[in-house]
Amino acid sequence: MTILAAENLTVRRGGRAILDGVSARFEGGGLVAVIGANGAGKSTLLAVLAGLLKPDDGVVSLDGEPLARIEGRALARRRGFLPQSPRAEWPISVERLVMLGLTPSLPAFGDLPAELKPSLDRAIADCDLEAHRDQPVTTLSGGELARAMLARALVGEPEILIADEPMAGLDPRHALDSMTRLRGLALAGRMVIASVHDLTLAARFAGRIIALHQGRVVADGAVRETLTPDLLRLIFAVEAQVRGEGQGAYVDFAAPA
């Protein structure tokens, strides 16, 4: 079983601890939703877990080996990463953008190997991008680009997927499709860690919640026990009701009087 472990992570910027002694353990077969207010440290935590940012203190290990000791190409084959607020600077096609997710598995020269084409086709279809396959990515809407970037993260079929706000900019249908896909990957044995602002989607699809507040983990556990009005009052400073469970769950907010 794949195990990703974070031990006492601290990241400082400008004299302030963005992450402050964060520890957590992740295993394959679960969808973990990381929640918290803006500035709580969610994006920083995901970047450290992905091996893209070195912590000032603490260590992240994959199956017992520190990420810093794993060769970059080898890590990229095992871990997919979806950044927050993706941007497209070059007018390459959607197909070419998605294909970039296969870079760690591509030969140094030549075209896409025939054995990888089914993975490319599947990622494009699964993210509802067939109609945009040959379209320059610079002409996509924000939601279409978000789906293309998700396809890029998924195309290599990584055993670990780390996604920073994967539903940002998506309409309701594609947000539900994306969360359904992430949960399906988790149920198939993959490790999926995603920061999520839509708490109703987190309640419906995640199996575990990690809540950050001012750079620290203030809750970590199963959704039903963790996602409570008291927790939401602490981290978001609003009153909330958490109703139902599973696919019938929803979170309703009210501003404090």
Mean pLDDT across the chain: 90
Give the lowest-confidence range in 113-117, 179-183, 203-207, 211-215: 113-117
pLDDT of residue 120: 92
Q: What is the mean predicted confidence (pLDDT) over 21-26? A: 97
Please give the structure tokens belonging to residue 48.
């450290």
> What integer is the mean pLDDT of 199-206?
94
What integer pLDDT is reported at residue 23 of this predicted model? 97
Residues 6 or more apart whose Cβ sits within 8 Å of residue 210: 24, 32, 33, 34, 35, 217, 219, 220
**In the chain, % of residues over pLDDT 70:** 96
Determine if residue 39 is left, alpha or beta; phi over 0 gives left, psi from -120 to 50 gives alpha, anything else beta: left
Residue 61 pLDDT exceeds 80: yes
Q: What is the pLDDT of residues 192-201, one digit of tens each?
A: 999 999 999 9
3-state secondary structure of 120: helix
What are φ and ψ of residue 213, in 5° steps? -145, 115
- Residue 30, H or E segment: strand 30-35
Please say if the pLDDT value at position 108 is more than 60: no
Tokens encoding 120: 């490319």
58-80 mean pLDDT: 93
* 256, pLDDT greater than 70: no
Contact present, 42 and 34 (Cβ < 8 Å): yes
> Which segment of 55-59, 85-89, 135-139, 165-169 scores lowest on mean pLDDT?
85-89
Long-range contacts formed by 244-250: CB under 8 A, 24+ apart: 245/203, 246/204, 247/204, 248/204, 249/200, 249/203, 249/204, 249/223, 250/200, 250/203, 250/204
What are the beta bridge partners of residue 33?
194, 209
* CA–CA separation, 85 and 7 (whole Å): 28
Cα 207 to Cα 199: distance, rounded to the nearest angstrom: 13
What's the rounded Cα separation, in Å, for the pair 45 and 164? Answer: 10
Using pLDDT thresholds of 50, 70 and 90, give the confidence band for residue 138: very high
- How far from 3 is each of 134, 210, 255, CA to CA, in Å? 38, 17, 39
Please give the pLDDT value at position 111: 67
Residue 7: predicted pLDDT:
97
Structural domains of the chain, with CATH: 3-86+159-254 (3.40.50.300)
Q: What is the pLDDT of residues 211-250, one digit of tens each?
A: 999 999 999 999 989 999 999 999 999 999 988 888 888 8
